[in-house]
Amino acid sequence: MTAPAADIPFRFVAKTTDVEPGRTKCVPLEGRNVLVIHMPNGGFKAIENQCSHEKKSMEGGRIRAGKIVCPHHGANFDLETGKAVSAPAVLPITVYPVKVEGEDVLVQLIEPPKKPKNPFAIPGVQGF
């Protein structure tokens, strides 16, 4: 997971009762679309609601074994690290640090991981 920047405040995103266990809820917040995830075994996760494959919403995606499954083409992402763990996705998604205070779910809107502008660009190779 991207290291939480200490100076980014935690913001209220949902009440714990707003999302049932195993379900997701998309909340627009400061220009982001935060997908709040109530894990089936308790606890909360939050991600940017955009699959890294085709940029589609992952709202309603199934939560299985610590991963979210994109409802469109089945890409799996680890909700701890954001890493793509199955095709067709390769790039990670943004995982927002979460804390729960009483009934409030709070998130830190960290910056998303950088995506290459040129899909053909190869790290360290000039001219491509």
Partner 1 sequence: MVAITRVKESIYTPAEKAPEPNLGSEIIPKERYISKEFMQLEWDRMWSKVWLIGCREQEIPETGDYITTDIGPESLLIVRGEDGKARTFYNVCNHRGNQVKFDECGNSRTLQCAYHFWEYDLTGRLINVPDEQDFTQGCPKDQLSLKAVKTETWGGFVWFNLNPDAEPLAEYLGVIPQHLDPYHFENMSMVMNVTVDWDCNWKTSVDAFNEVYHVQCIHPELSYTIDDVDIQIDLYERHNRYLVPFKTYSPRLNEDLQEVPEALADELRAIGMNPDEFEGRVPEIRRAVQEYKRENGDKLGIDYSQFNDDQLSDDYHYMIFPNITMNVMAESMMMFRQRPHESDPNKMYYDVTMYVTVPKTGEAIAAGFMGAAGPPLPDHEHVKHGERSLGLVLDQDSVNLPHVQRGMNSVAYKGLWISGQERRIRHMHKTLMDYINGEYANDA
Binding site for partner 1 (CB under 8 A): 53-55, 73, 87-88, 90-91, 116-123, 125-128
Q: What is the DSSP letter of 84?
A: B
Q: How far apart are CB 119 and partner 1 at their closest, in Å?
A: 4
Distance between CA atoms of residues 30 and 48, nearest Å: 12
Q: CA 73, CA 95: separation in Å to the nearest integer?
A: 20
Is the omega angle on the peptide bond into residue 21 within 30 degrees of 0, that is, cis? no
Nearer Cβ to partner 1 (52/108): 52
Residue closer to partner 1, measured from CB, 2 or 16: 2
- Of 9 and 123, which CB lies nearer to partner 1 in the complex structure? 123
What is the end-to-end Cα distance of the chain in Å, rounded?
29
Q: How far is the CB of 34 from partner 1 (least distance, A)?
A: 23
CB of 101 to partner 1, least distance (A): 38
